[in-house]
Amino acid sequence: MFTDSHAHLDGNRYDADRAEVIARAKAAQVATILAIGNGDGPGTGTLDCAVKLAHLHDGVYATVGIHPHEAALAKQDDFDELERLARDPKVIAWGEIGLDYFYDHSPRDVQQRVFLQQMEMARSAKLPIIIHCRPSDNSENAWDDLLRIIRENWAASGLGGVLHCFTGTVAHAQAALDLGFVISFAGNITYPKAQNIRDAASIVPLDRMFIETDCPYLAPVPHRGKRNEPAYVIETARQIGKLRGFSAEEVGQQTSQNFLSFFRLTRSN
Ligand SMILES: [Zn+2]
Ligand SMILES: [Zn+2]
């Protein structure tokens, strides 16, 4: 059994075969998928994309939130809609939210403000947060800001969160673990140059990690360059198993158990 803790299944890259993609995941023993609900961002009518998908499929859960890329587009109406959507029983987390200083699609001060506002809303909704963090090249800037903001504004909530598609250092992983976070590894852990990700996956306790695809992006080797999909999460499990001395199935089982207990899910619904 495997769990894909982070999948973007909305969007036109799946319009032709979305149901088949989900069927292939089930056939590959990927029983649980967390659909990320950023959609195309505020003002596009897509903030409910993951909620809609979760209601169509057993074993698919949803998040809601505004990605840091689109932080500058967020208006009060959008926050109101998120607040309403967050009450849906299939919504189990708020995200992905955070900081992206690599693309800087939104000004950094706006990213921080929208991140803080969504943490407040997640706290009211009693939902854990899914974090996206990407610094500028050769810089720790987004990590420094992110870890400080979480320490000062979130850690005390006790709700915890997930650092998705982890690409930091062992020190960043350790700092996030100390703040009560789970670390989620994506298909880029299989890329030859990603030794820092493999180093981090070697030290994160097995009961504090998730695996994900972040599909349609970051297809793992041997699918690299193609559209990614939840069935491929097994390649991330295989890579972590190699590092830790387990089979892909054992890593799948453990990370699935982690997912269910973190989100207090006892069964698919
Ligand atoms: Zn992300
Ligand atoms: Zn994502």
Query: What mean pLDDT do residues 19-35 have?
Result: 97
Helices (H), the chain: 18-27, 49-56, 76-85, 108-125, 141-153, 170-178, 195-203, 233-244, 248-262
Gap from CA of 8 to ligand 1 centroid (Å): 10
Q: Which ligand is nearest to the CA of 68?
A: 1
Query: Over 70: is that where the pLDDT of 267 sits?
Result: no
* Span 227-236, pLDDT tens digits: 999 999 999 9
> Which residues, listed in sequence order, are joined to residue 183 by a DSSP beta bridge?
163, 209
CB distance 41 to 13 below 8 Å: no
Gap from CA of 85 to ligand 1 centroid (Å): 20
| Surrounding residues of ion ligand 1, Cβ less than 5 A | 96, 132
Gap from CA of 66 to ligand 1 centroid (Å): 11
CA dihedral 258, 259, 265, 268 (to 10 degrees): -120
Query: Over 50: is that where the pLDDT of 269 sits?
Result: no
Query: What mean pLDDT do residues 143-156 have?
Result: 97
Interhelix angle for 233-244 vs 248-262, to 10°? 110
How far, CA to CA in Å, does 182 sit from each of 42, 62, 165, 222?
Answer: 27, 18, 11, 26
Gap from CA of 200 to ligand 1 centroid (Å): 18
Gap from CA of 185 to ligand 2 centroid (Å): 12
pTM, to two decimals: 0.97
DSSP code for 216: T
* Span 79-118, pLDDT tens digits: 999 999 999 999 999 999 999 999 999 999 999 999 999 9
- Identify which of 23, 36, 17 has the alpha carbon closest to the alpha carbon of residue 227: 17
Query: Over 70: is that where the pLDDT of 46 sits?
Result: yes
pLDDT of residue 123: 98
Q: Which ligand is nearest to the CA of 8?
A: 2
pLDDT of residue 266: 79
Gap from CA of 95 to ligand 2 centroid (Å): 9
What is d(CA 98, CA 38) in angstroms, rounded to the nearest whole number?
12
Start-to-end CA distance of the chain, whole Å, equals 16
